[in-house]
Amino acid sequence: MADVRLTLRWHNEPHEISLPEKSTIQDLSTAVAERLHVPPSNQKFIVTPKIGLLRPPFKDPSLPIQSLLDRKIILLGATEAEVATLDSALATQRAQAQRREETLAKGRRVLAYRHIDSARAQDEARYTFHAIKPLPYLPHPEKSRRFLERLRDDPGIKASMRKHGFQVGLLTEMDPVEHTTHQSRTLGLNRNRGEMIELRLRTDRYDGYRDYKVIRNTLCHELAHNVHGEHDRKFWDLCKLIEKEVERNDWTRGGRSIGGDEFFNPNDEGHEHVDEGGWTGRTLGGENETLSRETLARAAEGRMGKKS
């Protein structure tokens, strides 16, 4: 029986896999686990055009590989080693947050009589983004880090987070190619009411950064998901309140740039939506765990751009 060669992209690199011509999508999943060390539970295959997202357990495990030969296949998935690395980083982050909480609690007991600025400093250390991480595989991650730091240090954002007692474990960016379809662009995501917030910082062509105030409003939206998961009336009331608070407390105003690059790209507009509601009700180890881990652990799955 002759073999067929199928090419998929993973970690921004092409990988050729040879399989018997009568193989199925289940056989491809097994080969990926054996050769690339991505376990089936972490695998997601994005097939274009038409077919869409395939992931184990497959609805049709007998789908012939022959039907995929003329299509683009992107593999999303972290190896077990990458998942373990991220688990360790998250555990370290939680331990650091716990130590900060204990230190602040001691400070309140011992220094309660001090000036109000001391209490404010303690609140700002608690009600903040406890970690910032750009995507290291995208161009100029140092610029993304400065962008995320600007959001963290934005006077309006800080004031609103203090007022509402918001804490976010990790603030990071999202890879545009992974959150773009021919119908819409996703601008932000909030996982588990503040465990992680992802923001779409970059233009679709990766040649610049998006408008700061648009991204800041997206962040306001995602912070509202710390309280409300669904896009109901309570959510929208809180979202609008946060936006007004942030605008009112932003004493900087005016435009800024990162490393000489303007944020706004007027050609990068389109059908955009912020999210599909907060990623609530999932704990670490749940079925959607892999996707958030991949945001940090995997390499780029290719710049699909406008031609995808």
244 phi and psi angles, rounded to 5 deg: -65, -40
Do residues 200 and 161 make contact, with C-beta atoms less than 8 angstroms apart? no
| Mean pLDDT estimate for the chain | 79
Distance between CA atoms of 224 and 217, rounded to whole angstroms? 11
pLDDT at residue 221 tops 90: yes
pLDDT at 289: 38
From 189, 145, 180, select the one nearest 279 (Cα to Cα).
189
pLDDT at 11: 84
The structure tokens listed for 128 are 């903040």
Distance between CA atoms of 189 and 223, rounded to whole angstroms? 10
Total residues found in the chain within this entry: 308
> Within 36-140, where are the H helices?
80-110, 116-126
Neighbours of 281 (CB within 10 A): 10
Distance between CA atoms of 141 and 129, rounded to whole angstroms? 18
Query: How do beta strands 44-48 and 52-54 pair?
Result: antiparallel
Work out the average pLDDT over 14-27. Answer: 92
Which domains does the chain show, CATH number per domain?
3-76 (3.10.20.90), 127-300 (no CATH)
The model's pLDDT over 122-179, given as tens digits with 9 standing for 90+, comes to 777 889 999 999 998 888 999 999 999 999 999 999 999 999 999 999 999 999 888 7
Distance between CA atoms of 71 and 8, rounded to whole angstroms? 9
pTM above 0.75, yes or no: no
Do residues 38 and 75 make contact, with C-beta atoms less than 8 angstroms apart? yes
The model's pLDDT over 244-297, given as tens digits with 9 standing for 90+, comes to 999 999 876 644 444 433 333 333 444 455 565 554 432 333 333 333 444 434
